[in-house]
Structure 1
């Protein structure tokens, strides 16, 4: 599973940190901007079972830039705006709480595919 936001500095790395110990999913994070900490790549998208975008515009960029890298039914959108800090539950527990609530619910109908 790949978590995607704009810069790969706050939301997607926080999601990666929260879900990295999942028994069902291997996780990574990337950003859609060219100057992102880890820019999104076709290779990782093609290997991913699912891509979880923080915003609709991230999904739209992925669809346009990487046509065919991942089927539309494997791209999920959480609707989490860029208003949070990295893994900072003391300052911003809302992001961690939202991720823990939204991600499992959105993944309920998507099961991991066999590893490539």
Structure 2
């Protein structure tokens, strides 16, 4: 089982939508967090340590977490998802499903 972490800025729309795709997944567990001080759930060293794979919505999120936190062997993947979507947006879900197909199908 892999622990998947999704990170965006405020943890309102993109990362919680990605997390929701893995609800009740047989192999992966997912959580989400944000880099902003105004994030619903703020990224922390504890959640970074929990994660096996970290997906960030934009390159700036990768840069922020690399500056703030220590990493073990986690893979960081930039999804290049612009902040143009609301939570649960159908287009966002379609794009995430394509980007995360290798993880969703297992």
In the alignment, is residue 48 of structure 1 matched against residue 51 of structure 2? yes
RMSD: 1.8
* Larger gyration radius, structure 1 or structure 2: 1
* Structure 2 counterpart of 1:69: 71
Q: What is the CA–CA distance in structure 2 between the aligned matches of 1:63 and 1:104, rounded to whole Å?
A: 26
Q: What is the CA–CA distance in structure 1 between the aligned matches of 2:53 and 2:41, rounded to whole Å?
A: 18
Q: What is the CA–CA distance in structure 1 between the aligned matches of 2:38 and 2:71, rounded to whole Å?
A: 21
Q: Which has the higher strand share?
A: 2
TM-score by length of 2: 0.88
Q: Report the alpha carbon displacement of residue 104 of structure 1 after superposing the two structures with TM.
A: 2.6
Q: Report the alpha carbon displacement of residue 15 of structure 1 after superposing the two structures with TM.
A: 0.4
* Structure 1 counterpart of 2:99: 102
| 5+ residue gaps, structure 2 | none
- The count of corresponding residues between Structure 1 and Structure 2 is 102
Query: Per-residue CA shift, 1:29-68, capped at 9, x if unaligned?
Result: 00000110000010011111111101111011011111x3
* Structure 2 counterpart of 1:82: 83
| 5+ residue gaps, structure 1 | 109-116
TM-score by length of 1: 0.81
Q: What is the CA–CA distance in structure 2 between the aligned matches of 1:6 and 1:70, rounded to whole Å?
A: 22
Runs (4+) off by over 3 Å: none
SS at match of 1:27: strand
Q: What is the CA–CA distance in structure 2 between the aligned matches of 1:12 and 1:38, rounded to whole Å?
A: 10
